[in-house]
Amino acid sequence: MKGKLIRSGKESNILEIHDVNSAVNSYYDMSDPVQFTLTYCSGLSDEDYYNVMTISPNKDYFYSSYIVSDFHKFNSRPMHQHAFFELVVVLEGSITQRLENKDYLYPAGTCCLINQNVFHVEKYIGKARLLFIGLSVNFIKELLEAHRTAYYQVETARENSILRFMADNIELEKGKNYLDFLPVYQNRKNLSDLYRLADRLIQTMMFPTFGSSFILKGLICHLFYYLDTKEFYHISSVKLNSSSDLLLFSRIGHLMEDTDGRMSRSDLEKALCYSGNYMNTIVNKYTGMCLYDYGLTFTMKKAAHLLAETDLTISAIETRLGLTNRTHFYKLFRERYGVTPGEYRKQKNSL
């Protein structure tokens, strides 16, 4: 079916826009407890196009348009709020997410969970595929109750930080914050995992059978569990009064931690979609160090851990961390810990 993605005021709509032209009062509401919107933009030239598919338990909608017609108008929408939580999953390409008055770059594999109070808008900057998951407050309350009364101890043994974030926001009502999700560097399967979960969610919504409501809730909980597993994703809770640079610095730190500081500038550029010079400026702003020296602080931290917790020889530790100059390694280690690697190991073994 062709037409406009959202037709405000129609009872059959999945989403409704209120005060659509307002830069300060525009907000989205939805009639169902949960909805998925899958979008694909092939590029930004006059020959490109974008597709939008929005589905919910009671309705579905498909819209296709060439870029030259009205996509640019869509890409210039004013910022808006939601009367629900929205999880944005970047499946392909990159987008710019404008949150309040700050712009953030979200490359493939990253996600963003926005509460109801944050003014925001997503902008395409090239080819991209996105999944938007809208979750009503009542739907989240049902998940929280199901979590509280779960059958298995393993389900309640560890609190899910995503559910906790939403529970806190429901209780406080006025906070402007969101969760940022960055895949762990070693998690090479993050995109295939996200595609698989997205496909199962959409298939369940589009072809319901007896028990599909429970399956849908279970799949969303599984997605939350996956994103909240430290071996797979880093989660940063961001308040909107913080600097936009701080999130990028946090992402750089996470990736340096993942790679023991041995991540090259070019690999950082590929992972975060920012130039090495810009990231070097951000690191220097917060640490006074260049990007390379900042990475070495993680390398020395890992070296100290291996010296204290393993029986690996110093030569084996150097090899494992990709250090080829022993004199330089000893110099760096002494600068950080005040002793040589061998002396550090003796101190730790004597405790």
Helix (H) or strand (E) segment spanning residue 231: none
Parallel, antiparallel, or unpaired: how do β-strands 233-239 and 177-183 relate? antiparallel
Identify which of 129, 4, 131 has the alpha carbon closest to the alpha carbon of residue 65: 4
Answer yes or no: are the C-beta atoms of 110 and 132 closer than 8 Å.
no
The Cα 3–Cα 153 span in angstroms is: 48
Output the pLDDT for position 12.
43
Following DSSP, what letter does each residue of 277-317 receive, concatenated? HHHHHHHHHHHSS-HHHHHHHHHHHHHHHHHHH----HHHH
Q: How far apart are CA 132 and CA 38, in angstroms?
A: 6
DSSP-assigned beta bridge partners for residue 35: 134
Q: Using an 8 Å Cβ cutoff, are 125 and 43 in contact?
A: no
What residue has token string 């348009």?
Answer: 65
Q: Are 38 and 53 in contact (CB under 8 A)?
A: yes
Domain boundaries, the chain: 15-242, 253-349
CA angle, corner 78, sides to 77 and 82, nearest 5?
A: 100
Residue 336: the pLDDT is 93
CATH 2.60.120.10 fits 15-242, yes or no: yes
pLDDT of residue 60: 74
Can you say how many angstroms the Cα of residue 224 is from the centroid of all Cα atoms in its chain?
12
Residue 184 CA to residue 235 CA, distance in Å, equals: 10
**Which pLDDT does position 75 carry in this prediction?**
67
CA–CA separation, 50 vs 26, rounded Å? 23
User: For 253-349, which CATH superfamily applies?
Assistant: Homeodomain-like (1.10.10.60)
Q: What is the mean pLDDT of each run of 10 residues along the chain (351 residues)?
A: 36 59 65 92 85 86 64 70 94 93 92 92 93 96 92 87 94 85 94 96 94 96 96 92 82 96 94 95 95 96 95 95 93 94 91 71
Q: Which residues is 238 bridged to in the sheet?
A: 178
Three-state SS at 204: helix
Domains 15-242 and 253-349 share a fold: no
What does the pLDDT read at residue 210?
96
